[in-house]
Structure 1
């Protein structure tokens, strides 16, 4: 059976929506830039003590700006490039290759009906999102 990328993408969207999964890519470079800018401007205005104050204020602002930027996993899945989608599908296909399905709806029913398989699919998705996208996963509302 050929790998049906669309079916697997629909499965992953359904499972992640069911689990209420969200993710955020850590924007550490953006936060560091804000902290550095704060230290720089603090140094211009207040000399050495201004560097310390500006760095602290800039660091706090950088942390605030980059926190809480969670996106629903289904949205992230749909925004993946075709190459990323294929890579994710290949990982998940290893888990579901023994299933016989004709469309996405049937695949979703087969996976959702098997708790162990569903957990394996969720684990594969979390592993991909965490490692390949360097994202932090959050469950629930």
Structure 2
């Protein structure tokens, strides 16, 4: 039985959830400007502690990687599918459940898939991953 793209996406989501992976997209110039304004207003209102609070309120934007993956357009999901399939192709499995069990039981496979995922998020999407 051939593995489906949705099954690979679920597998990648399971790995990212287990590892508590989060990602944020790097701010554009406009985002940086808003961050600066919020931090400045915090400094005016609360002095140095207000500056820290203002910067903290606007920073972050980290979302669970699993959420980001499920919102990707089909073309990008297909790219991830192709890259993940290259990693799992040597495995012998009959269905998505068995594949998930094999991968979740192997630290080495998880690390390979996680590395591929981090590379995709940083290079293709310009995200910062934690």
TM-score tier by shorter-chain length is 0.7 to 0.9
After superposition, the Cα gap between the structure-2 partners of 1:35 and 1:69, relative to the gap in structure 1 and judged at 3 Å, is closer
Written as runs of structure 1 = structure 2, the 5 A alignment for 1:18-33 is 18-33=18-33
CA distance in 2, matches of 1:75, 1:103: 24
Deviation at 1:34, TM superposition (A): 3.4
1:57 aligns with 2:49: no
The match for 1:96 among 82, 88, 91 is 88
Counterpart residue number, 2:73:
81
Unmatched tracts of structure 2, length 5 or more? 42-50
Deviation at 1:115, TM superposition (A): 1.5
Deviation at 1:66, TM superposition (A): 4.7
Partner-residue secondary structure (3-state), 1:94: helix
After superposition, the Cα gap between the structure-2 partners of 1:35 and 1:23, relative to the gap in structure 1 and judged at 3 Å, is closer
Deviation at 1:74, TM superposition (A): 0.6
Checking the alignment, whether the CA contact within 8 Å between 1:9 and 1:89 is kept in structure 2 is yes
What RMSD over aligned residues (CA atoms) do the two structures have, in Å? 2.5
Please list the CA deviations of residues 66-103 of structure 1 after superposition, one character each: whole Å capped at 9, or x if unmatched. 51111001100100000000001111111001123233
Unmatched tracts of structure 1, length 5 or more? 39-55
Question: After TM superposition, what 4+ stretches of structure 1 lie above 6 angstroms from structure 2?
Answer: none
1:4 aligns with 2:4: yes
Deviation at 1:109, TM superposition (A): 0.7
Please list the CA deviations of residues 7-63 of structure 1 after superposition, one character each: whole Å capped at 9, or x if unmatched. 111110100000010100012222344379x6xxxxxxxxxxxxxxxxx938x7x96
How high is the TM-score relative to the length of structure 2?
0.78
**Would you say how many aligned residue pairs link Structure 1 and Structure 2?**
119
